[in-house]
Amino acid sequence: MPRICRAVHLKDPLPVLEAEPVAGCDVCAALARQRADAHAIGDKSTAIDSNIEIRRHPHPKREGR
Ligand SMILES: [Zn+2]
């Protein structure tokens, strides 16, 4: 029988949504890497900050080029 890891019931004040880094954006890629590193070491505040920065990073639409 497989062992099932039960989800940890943590009541976060806000659901932490993983922001989608924009493909081809170096800044988003760097932030995504920083976020992954933060997750790896359990640094939640840095992970959340990285998510916020990814979400806020402006990406002007490429038009008329
Ligand atoms: Zn970006």
pTM value surpassing 0.75: no
Residue 44, token pair as written in the block: 């939640």
- Coil vs helix vs strand at 5: coil
Q: What was the pLDDT predicted at 50?
A: 96
Type of residue numbered 32: A
The CA 57 to ligand 1 mean position distance, Å, reads: 5
Residues of the chain with pLDDT under 70: 8-17, 62-65
10-19: pLDDT as tens digits:
665 555 568 9
Distance 49 CA to ligand 1 centre (A): 14
> Which of these, 34, 29, 25, 36, lies nearest to 61 by C-alpha position?
25
How many angstroms is it from 42 CA to the middle of ligand 1? Answer: 24
Handedness of CA 38, 27, 54, 56 (dihedral sign): positive
CB 48 within 8 A of CB 56: no
Expressed in angstroms and rounded, the spacing between residue 28 Cα and the centre of ligand 1 is 4
